[in-house]
Structure 1
Amino acid sequence: MLYLIGYREAGIYHIKIGIAANPLRRLKQLQTGNGHRLSVLKAIDCVAPRRVELGLHRQFSHYRKSGEWFELTAPVLAHLEQVMDRLAVDQLQNEQQPKSFYLVR
């Protein structure tokens, strides 16, 4: 699954764009040693998650803080979530198979 995990501080969202079979398990791993309370902001099941992840990293590269972590304003995060929503809908229409996605805030 493709996920957004992160936290908000001083109006800026610190977001990791990544992939994991189980985003909640990944959240627990990332939380270890992190002084901020992290949450899964969004996760979608998609075809070729690694390719999609790398595409999102490129598309949002000017917001990159370090590695897979990005610093986003609320409008930019909303745009990223819309991109992920469109991806999930497109796959539903193309494959006619349900794909799970959820939003946790």
Structure 2
Amino acid sequence: MPVYFIGQVQSNNCTRIKIGRTGNITRRRGQLQTGSPHPLEIMGWIRSDDEVALEKQLHIDFAHRRQIGEWFRIEPGEILPILRAEGDSGFVAKNADAFEITGYDRDAVPEYLGVWAWCDLEFHECCPFCGCFCGMHYQDASSMYHCTNCDALTDFSELSPYDDE
């Protein structure tokens, strides 16, 4: 059961983030959305063998920023180091348009939309397909990049390896 971070977005700024745990993050976001006048976004999650202890520790770490219950006044940028520190157990909810070409630099190299909506992440840090902080690893034999978590294999010539599904 992952420990999740769900943010309440107000005017494109996250003002409150809920730290909780659930077996189905998407369903939990929907349940929370019912009681919120502002859009809620899944920011990321951590898979853990002891999610109760992890959630408790995060609540202690942010106790001075608690607003009410499990809601805290923290910014997405403060969550990112926590997710990164978890390595292949940390995930970001990837931007739906991740790796969409947004333009080209002066050398005609494509510039891509980032993986995470709240911060720039490179593909060597975070898989743009599953959000895992294991990153994409270059394989000389195939001349492609591989994610050890979701097994995505790509040369980034297409938006997603799952487009045909």
TM class by shorter-chain length?
Answer: 0.7 to 0.9
TM-score (norm 2): 0.51
Q: Distance in 1 between matches of 2:54 and 2:90?
A: 16
TM superposition shift of 1:103: 2.0
**Which AA in structure 2 matches 1:40?**
I
TM superposition shift of 1:83: 1.2
Please list every run of at least 4 consecutive aligned residues from structure 1 whose deviation after the TM superposition is greater than 6 angstroms.
none
- Which secondary structure state, in structure 2, belongs to the residue aligned with residue 46 of structure 1? coil
- Percent of pairs with identical residues: 31
TM superposition shift of 1:36: 1.0
Which of 29, 41, 61 pairs up with 1:59?
Answer: 61
* 1:6 alignment counterpart: 7
Is this contact kept in 1: 2:4–2:25, CA < 8 A? Answer: yes
**Which AA in structure 1 matches 2:26?**
L
- Which secondary structure state, in structure 2, belongs to the residue aligned with residue 18 of structure 1? strand
Q: Larger helix proportion, structure 1 or 2?
A: 1
Q: Distance in 1 between matches of 2:71 and 2:90?
A: 24
Mapping for residues 35-74 of structure 1, pairs under 5 Å: 35-72=37-74, 74=75
* 1:101 alignment counterpart: 91
Q: Distance in 2 between matches of 1:59 and 1:34?
A: 25
TM-score (norm 1): 0.76
- Which secondary structure state, in structure 2, belongs to the residue aligned with residue 17 of structure 1? strand
* Structure 2 stretches lacking a partner, 5+ long: 95-116, 118-165
RMSD: 1.9
TM superposition shift of 1:26: 0.4
TM superposition shift of 1:62: 0.7
**Which AA in structure 2 matches 1:9?**
Q
Look at both structures and tell me which one has the larger radius of gyration over its CA atoms.
Answer: 2
Q: Distance in 1 between matches of 2:23 and 2:63?
A: 24
TM superposition shift of 1:21: 0.7
TM superposition shift of 1:79: 2.6
* 1:85 alignment counterpart: 84
* 2:27 alignment counterpart: 25
Q: Distance in 2 between matches of 1:80 and 1:17?
A: 10
- Bigger RCO of structures 1 and 2 (CA < 8 A, at least 6 apart): 1
**Which AA in structure 2 matches 1:46?**
S
- Which secondary structure state, in structure 2, belongs to the residue aligned with residue 4 of structure 1? strand
